[in-house]
Amino acid sequence: MNYNNIIIDFFTGMRGIHDLFESIYEGLYGGVQRYKVEPNEGIFDKDFLIKFIKINQGNNDFDYELGRIGYRFLTSNEGLKELSKFYLNELKTYKHEYVSTEVIENCKKSLINIINT
């Protein structure tokens, strides 16, 4: 399935690059799904990316806002690759005042790994 920018904008509008780094440093706790994910130093996989997006909203938001296409986007390899490409592109211009170089490099590697799998 080919995803357009509207779908990517929907998800990244809720969870931008600053939120990603906050979740990397603080971990993921709470939400409707009651996630409890420890901080990860920027080393993460697809599962973390899914939880990172979903923790900000309930399951009904996917149905109401985007219907099944939003769920398919977030749970498909193609959708997660597109989301990873967006965040990787954001890193090119990211001003990292409080994020360590090591965490940024780990994050880049994690995103590239998601794209390449």
pLDDT in tens, 21-41: 999 999 999 877 788 999 999
Confidence band, pLDDT 50/70/90 cuts, at residue 14: low
Over the stretch 51-61, which tens digit does the pLDDT of each residue have? 888 776 655 55
Read off the pLDDT of each residue in 80-108 and give the average, rounded to a whole number.
90
pLDDT given at position 1: 44
Instruction: Using alpha carbons, select from 54, 63, 6, 64 the residue that is nearest to residue 33.
Output: 54
Which single residue is written with the structure tokens 């219907």?
67
Rounded distance between C-alpha atoms, residue 53 and residue 41, angstroms: 18
Q: Where are the domains of the chain?
A: 5-116
Q: Which pLDDT score is estimated for 40?
A: 96
Write down the pLDDT at residue 66: 55
Measured CA to CA in angstroms, residue 3 lies from 40, 47, 55, 78 at distances of: 28, 20, 22, 8
Mean pLDDT for the stretch of residues 70-75: 71
As a whole number, mean pLDDT of residues 2-23 equals 69
The CA distance from 114 to 117, in Å, is 5
